[in-house]
Structure 1
Amino acid sequence: MKKKLIALSFLVGAMQLSCTEDLDQLNTDPTQASATTFDPNLLLPSAQWNYVSSIAGYNGPILFQSMWVQVLSSTTSGAANYYSNADKYVQSSNTANYQQGTWNVGYQGASYAYEMEQLAKGKPALANLANIAVIMQVQALSSIADTYGDIPYTQALQAKGGTTLPTYDTQESVYKSLLTRLETATAALNASSPAPTNDAFAYKGNIAQWKKYGYSLMLKLAMRLVKSDAATAKTFAEKAAAGGVFSSVGDDAYIMADDSKGFGNGNGAALSTLADVYQVRWSKTMIDFLKSTNDPRLSRVAEVPADGLTANQDMASAGNTTPAAQLGLPNGYDLNGGATDISKSPGYPGGTGTGANATPIGKYSRPTMMYRNRNAPLFVLTYAEVELLLAEAVVRGFNVGGTAAGHYKNGVVAGIQSLAKYGATIDAATATAYADANPLVTANALKQINEQYWATTGLLMNFSEAWNNWKRSGFPVLTPVNYVGNFSGGQIPRRQPYPTGEATLNSANYKAAVSKLSGGDNWVARSWWDK
């Protein structure tokens, strides 16, 4: 991908001078494009890449949400150990930096998309690109609002026009505007018009798939509102279904990373560092869930390292993937020798190795080698998520077509098959047999649907989505960690505080936004749709 060069050439080209004719000739670099000649297609991959980067790696989610919702686990603790932010809700030396990653990189993605829209607007040959630019703004800005609550919106992305201290809009007004803009942009996509030429998604400019993506995103955003505004949720969920959402795993929205070009998968980069290879394990909550139904994904996602500290720190050698051997690490424990030492956890299995090669966490399952791949896919939205959301919509009485049981089965099968994009192919017969053996039970429908949503998004490393849907649905039911010195009062965090720079650089507007939060700018205040 060429994003760094793309961004540089555009920024240089956009700096147009207002001078006399002679000075204009003297001060214009003939090798750079102006805003009138720059191809806005070149901004699309930057908008897409910044979005997926905002929800991956050390920009926050793997250090926060991955363990807040007990997908992963770690025995790290204290200010020097960064996973303590996630596993125990304890401040580390870089917590303030991590908490602003989704905000900063997400707004960068939205800014690229906005600039792309402005350059494409009013040009018939770029009509599809202009509408895709709106869809990407919706994706990025909704993610920021999901993470922080009220955000700059109507005055955001306006720095070129002189607005550098934007006011904050309520999450409610942001969401309703985003849904309306998304509806208009998606409906306007036209397969008879030119397609984008620089699409980093697997769609490669396919307008039919982009249209499905727009409506699938609409469904996801609509379902966020089922507890805060059921009428709006129903209206837009039904519009999305009628418009045409994802219909197979071939519609999954994702980007394949390219580490050799400087665009590596942030989660793969994290999980392939020495400390993370050793310290990051699957949570007991996740492994117990997968084992309880003999989920075929278990042997593809989890491995127990060979005995001893050396093997546990070896990222190049695969471990034991036998399902019966898998054991999840309970969240909230450390290696400090006190009351919260892992050896004091209920059912502690003991360590492996002896002497200097001993490790107390050697029997716990870690992510398999495919998750340490820096060229692995970064998922945006999948067919599995869409089918599970449709299943819930039917349960809630929305007119989206099909049956809850049918959509649920489709979602379970798709969640299993989407792992193939990591290289972990599970054949359709196995996936279907598993779904048939574990059908939707009416009495437990919402629980089953949302537990599968959590497992699927978690196993695809989309930790932000697993967390947001947990906030929305309440499933799976999780027991919070109450570790000494935690920053959330022993509650699972429900939002990220605003970046610290907002309090100093955009003080008045920041204070106005914080005044609306119950308890202030903290980790547990609930935003509008989080009921």
Structure 2
Amino acid sequence: MLKRFLIYAWPVLFIFVMMAGCKDLDEINHDPTKPTDTEPAYLLTSAQKSSMDFLYSTLQNGYIGMQYAQYWTGNSRVNDAQYAIDENNNTALWNAMYNSLHSLDRIITINNQRGNNPAAKNQNAIAGIMKVWLFQVLTDAYVNVPYSQALKEGENITPAYDKQENIYTSLIDTLQRQISALDPAQPTFDAGDVIYNGNVAKWKALGHSLLLRLAIRIADVSPEKARTVIEANYASAMTDNGGDARFNYLTTAPNKFPMSDIDREISDFFVSKTLVDYMQSLNDPRLPVYARPSVNGPINGLEYGRSANDPGRLAPANYSYPGVRIYSDTMPGILMTYPEVAFTLAEAAARGWNVGEGAPALYEKGIRASMAFWGITTGVDEYITSVPYDAGDWKNVIGTQKWLALYPQGFQAWFERLRLDFKQPNGDSLFIAPYSGSLDQNVPYVPSRLTYPLAEQTQNAAAYQKAAADIKGDTKASKSWWDLN
């Protein structure tokens, strides 16, 4: 059922788009790229697929997320690893996230207008949870963004930018409302939900889990709020890999994983020396999954941001591409997985908060769950023994293992890198500045955010100028509200 629905959802949406574009000229102010009347299930599939396609594409995840997390670095094109942002990729990410948000908001609008859908309450709550996830990505990537006025179709084409602190407060409140609204005893999506197939209990657990993500991200700037949220939600969050929120891609076009290399070799990226050397130092059994052997034999990473014309750089055959599974047709798009939950709770316990278990046990659960996700069954006990939990160095111990477990979620790993500013547990630096130098002199080490799309400067000039001033300049060095490190 789901496979058939996924395959046919896009052609049906295309028909609605064409119909919307053929209305009378008196409706010219309506955006013809948004369906005027369609079924919530189609809109949900559209929003899930579109957002995952961009968050895991070569252009957005490959050139931005995976490089800012320092998992990968460029092969012939190295400017991105040296922080010269590609404005087309940046604009496409911004637009895709907001387009998906509009589709989700349309689900709620349609259900409220019709008033005869017994599944409306659950469908609206599921759409609301997905909206929180997308807004979290947007605000963590750009800091202040259009939020409260962003989805008022036809009412405001120049929305104000909300402050990130206010967005976070609203996202937490919204998630709590959506979780309360979900009712497993009532109808839900009977098709269209590729992530959970309409399973209300799993959407509830995801809602609680996303609250943990939001709360831990503000743990330094608003510790009491973070503690209250985590202590109230940890028991209802994911408890194992069976609750993972994944968008399962298929083996047939156009529903393959965006970075699938089945039709062409993806030679844009090498795994970074940062990732390879650290995993090799730990004898990490996930390394052969994260990276493939170089043409000349061993797994070998390239120094992050090392230019293609650097005279000391070896031939490409000496460096490793990302692993085969990362480039497979059916690699899932990840919204959130249990290892992130476990490491989040481990950190909460390390901070002295009550989450039912101690930090060592939760830390171990995070590692074991990550190994299981990647199908690693041998050497796990030995690995855990070699990377013991250390209460006196919890930030570096948990930070490094969470970073390894978040692969290939480039954007979330980048946000966590900024938030915790962790090092190796021995105190040595884990990350490096771009090896051949940064092309953005304001950012010698790592960008704190993405700059706003250039179109915002002209199409939404007044709101853009205020937003830029509020964050002390539209630069990659301007920090998130929660980033105190």
TM-score greater than 0.5 by the shorter chain: yes
Change (3 A) 1:263 1:223: same
Matched residue, 1:312 = none
Q: 1:341 aligns with which of 306, 311, 315?
A: 311
Change (3 A) 1:273 1:444: farther
Change (3 A) 1:3 1:487: farther
Matched residue, 1:183 = 176
Could you tell me whether the CA contact under 8 Å between 1:69 and 1:466 is conserved in 2?
yes
Q: 2:417 aligns with which of 470, 484, 487?
A: 470
Q: Does 1:89 align with 2:78?
A: no
Matches for 1:90-129 after TM superposition, within 5 Å: 90=84, 95-121=86-112, 123-129=117-123
Matched residue, 2:31 = none
Matched residue, 2:434 = 481
Shift of 1:382: 0.5
Name structure 2 gaps, 5 residues minimum. Answer: 1-5, 25-34, 424-429
Matched residue, 1:206 = 199
Secondary structure, in 3 states, of the residue corresponding to 2:334?
strand
Q: 1:167 aligns with which of 145, 160, 164?
A: 160
Secondary structure, in 3 states, of the residue corresponding to 1:73?
strand
Matches for 1:498-509 after TM superposition, within 5 Å: 498-509=452-463
Matches for 1:131-280 after TM superposition, within 5 Å: 131-160=125-154, 162-242=155-235, 244-258=236-250, 260-268=252-260, 273-274=264-265, 276-277=266-267, 279-280=268-269
Amino acid at match of 1:221: L
Change (3 A) 1:68 1:191: same
TM-score calculated relative to the size of structure 2: 0.88
Amino acid at match of 1:377: P
Q: Distance in 1 between matches of 2:331 and 2:308?
A: 31
Matched residue, 1:130 = 124
Question: Which is worse superposed, 253-262 or 168-177?
Answer: 253-262
Q: Distance in 2 between matches of 1:174 and 1:492?
A: 24
TM-score calculated relative to the size of structure 1: 0.81
Q: Distance in 2 between matches of 1:219 and 1:527?
A: 18
Secondary structure, in 3 states, of the residue corresponding to 1:451?
helix
Could you tell me whether the CA contact under 8 Å between 1:59 and 1:101 is conserved in 2?
no
Could you tell me whether the CA contact under 8 Å between 1:272 and 1:372 is conserved in 2?
no
Could you tell me whether the CA contact under 8 Å between 1:201 and 1:253 is conserved in 2?
no
Matched residue, 2:303 = 330
Give per-residue Cα distances to partners, 1:21-72, cap 9 Å, x unaligned. xxxxxxxxxxxx984xx43122111121122223222442210231223211
Matches for 1:385-396 after TM superposition, within 5 Å: 385-396=340-351
Question: Which is worse superposed, 470-479 or 127-136?
Answer: 470-479
Q: Does 1:450 align with 2:403?
A: no
RMSD: 2.5
Shift of 1:152: 0.6
Q: Distance in 1 between matches of 2:391 and 2:11?
A: 53
Matched residue, 2:324 = 369
Higher Rg of the two aligned structures: 1
Matched residue, 1:357 = none
Q: Distance in 1 between matches of 2:129 and 2:75?
A: 40
Amino acid at match of 1:480: A
Matched residue, 1:315 = none
Work out which structure has the larger RCO, using CA pairs closer than 8 Å and 6 or more positions apart in sequence: 2
Change (3 A) 1:125 1:51: same
Name structure 1 gaps, 5 residues minimum. Answer: 19-32, 308-319, 344-350, 352-359, 420-424
Give per-residue Cα distances to partners, 1:169-220, cap 9 Å, x unaligned. 1011111101101011012211111121224444211111111111111110
Amino acid at match of 1:45: T
Question: Which is worse superposed, 292-301 or 484-493?
Answer: 484-493
Matched residue, 2:469 = 515
Matched residue, 2:352 = 397
Q: Distance in 2 between matches of 1:240 and 1:6?
A: 39
Could you tell me whether the CA contact under 8 Å between 2:213 and 2:344 is conserved in 1?
yes
Change (3 A) 1:491 1:298: closer
Give per-residue Cα distances to partners, 1:354-389, cap 9 Å, x unaligned. xxxxxx232322222222223321111000011000
Q: Distance in 1 between matches of 2:55 and 2:477?
A: 20
Secondary structure, in 3 states, of the residue corresponding to 1:208?
helix
Could you tell me whether the CA contact under 8 Å between 1:71 and 1:285 is conserved in 2?
yes
Q: Does 1:299 align with 2:283?
A: no
Change (3 A) 1:14 1:40: farther
Secondary structure, in 3 states, of the residue corresponding to 1:254?
strand
Q: Distance in 2 between matches of 1:201 and 1:445?
A: 37
Between the two proteins, the alignment pairs up a number of residues equal to 459
Could you tell me whether the CA contact under 8 Å between 2:245 and 2:336 is conserved in 1?
yes
